[in-house]
Amino acid sequence: MSFDADVIIVGGGLSGLSAGITMAREGLNTILLERGEYSGAKNVSGGRMYIHSLLKLVPDALEKAPLEKPITKETYLMFCENNKKISFSFEEKGKRNSYSVLRAKFDRWLANEAENLGLLISYSTNVYNAYREHEGITLETDKGALKAPIVIDASGVTSVVFRSLGLRNFSPDKWMLGVKEVVKGNGLEREEGEAITVVNAIKGAKGGGFIYTNKDTLSVGFTITFDSIPKSEKPAKDLVEEFREKMGIEGEVLEYSAHAIPYYGYKNLPRLYDKNVIAVGDAAGFLINDGFTIRGMDLAIASGMVAGIAVKKLVESRNYENTEIYYKMLEESFILRHLELAYNRFSVINSSLSLYPDVICKVLSDMFTVSEDRRTLISDALIRLKESGITLGKALDDLRKVVL
């Protein structure tokens, strides 16, 4: 049986390119298939990358990569009933831990790095089916069929390879929709970047809003679980506009985009490997949303790098079925550990986060109101929790999960 390459990567986003770069450095015979005309043509993210993984992949990335601004200010804004809102900011000037990015630019640059290292990328190549044949995997594309003994599924949340092999079962409560607009610069006077996380901006929507400042533009977006869209005040097509208007952001809108986000959580991760196939990045469901951070990009890069090393071992041993080694390597990396760490907070956000803003706002409103009948903070909080139907036991349990 002749194969077209030692390994084929499906998807030239961050995870696929990171795997490709790693394997090109290891001298493996690799082909990457990307359906976009260029990498990033189809990719959307909110736009904040934690750069620790990138710096492992490309050590001089800070000098070369098209990063937008270092994020050194965090603002939280929580809406509650009757036009009340809470906000707080935290500033750490000089910090270089995360940057705003725009993926059409960023992924294209990373693809260029990969090609310079000798990775073969076939663009405008749409994979639409995968099946097992002759101890390997055959991929059907609009340009014909390709075969390899091992395939890395880096095709993002829709994970075409695992899906075609019957290894995915999607549901609307395990995916989020992200909608986003890029708005021409205003509010960009601050030299370093800012991230604004907004809770409860749109009633009924299980999700939240974000704003990141780029060099010349703002990224404004909203995420929502698919199962809660029909319960939200606004249909999907109006969410980001509603959010932008609520935040008072004006300026020319340059782009409107949308993309699904995996939202499984550590305990519900889908299948990560099977004989001859490995899933990385969003295709593996590697996404963390713990209320403080949304992270998929650093996990995508890191899992791509791990997959690259795992595949090298498989190729050397000529045992392409032993993909479990990938899982073992993931366990040793930060990836599964961070996903596990975030799970408690993830589960609170998922089940009851929308209950609390109103309680907190009521308590704060009470504290800032002086009248004859005044209560202590604690007794007021207990009364307000009870009014909202949250037992003390539940509140303490949620608090424990959020803090621990």
Partner 1 sequence: MIPLLKRLGLNTYDVDSTSHIQVDTDKCVQCVGKPCTISCPAGTYEASPDGKIIVHYERCLECGGALVICPYGAIKFRFPNGGVKYKYG
- Enumerate binding residues for partner 1 (CB under 8 A): 35-37, 40-45, 102-107, 124, 126, 128, 142, 156-158, 170-172, 175, 177-179, 181-182, 217, 219, 226, 229-230, 235-239, 241-242, 245, 253-260
Angle, helices 297-317/14-25, rounded to nearest 10 degrees? 40
- 325 vs 319: CA distance, rounded Å: 11
Which one, 79 or 226, has the nearer CB to partner 1?
226
Q: Are 108 and 40 in contact (CB under 8 A)?
A: yes
- Identify which of 178, 183, 167 has the alpha carbon closest to the alpha carbon of residue 226: 178
Q: Is the dihedral of CA 284, 290, 295, 301 positive or negative?
A: negative
CB of 368 to ligand FAD, least distance (A): 33
Is 178 near ligand FAD (CB under 6 A)?
A: yes
Choosing from 8, 15, 31, 329, the residue that interacts with ligand FAD (CB under 6 A) is 15
Which one, 22 or 43, has the nearer CB to ligand FAD?
43
Which one, 217 or 344, has the nearer CB to partner 1?
217
Q: Are 222 and 44 in contact (CB under 8 A)?
A: no
Is 207 near ligand FAD (CB under 6 A)?
A: no
Give me the torsion for CA of 179, 182, 186, 187, rounded to 10°: 50
Q: Which two tokens stand for residue 326?
A: 């990938």
Is 180 near ligand FAD (CB under 6 A)?
A: yes
- Identify which of 355, 286, 27, 323 has the alpha carbon closest to the alpha carbon of residue 150: 323
Is 152 near ligand FAD (CB under 6 A)?
A: no
Quote the DSSP letter at residue 391. -
Choosing from 10, 61, 211, 336, the residue that interacts with ligand FAD (CB under 6 A) is 10
Choosing from 156, 208, 265, 285, the residue that interacts with ligand FAD (CB under 6 A) is 156
Name the binder of 230 from ligand FAD, partner 1, none, CB < 5-8 A by kind. Answer: partner 1
Output the residue with the shortest Cβ distance to ligand FAD. Answer: 296
Is 198 near ligand FAD (CB under 6 A)?
A: no
Which one, 160 or 342, has the nearer CB to ligand FAD?
160
Which one, 125 or 323, has the nearer CB to partner 1?
125
User: Is 392 strand, coil or helix?
Assistant: helix
Q: Which of residues 339-398 bind ligand FAD (CB under 6 A)?
A: none
What DSSP assignment string belongs to 98-150? EEE--HHHHHHHHHHHHHHTT-EEE-S--EEEEEEETTEEEEEETTEEEEESE
Interacting residues with ligand FAD (CB under 6 A): 10-16, 33-36, 39, 42-49, 126-127, 154-156, 158, 160, 178, 180, 221, 223, 259, 261, 281-283, 287, 294-298, 300
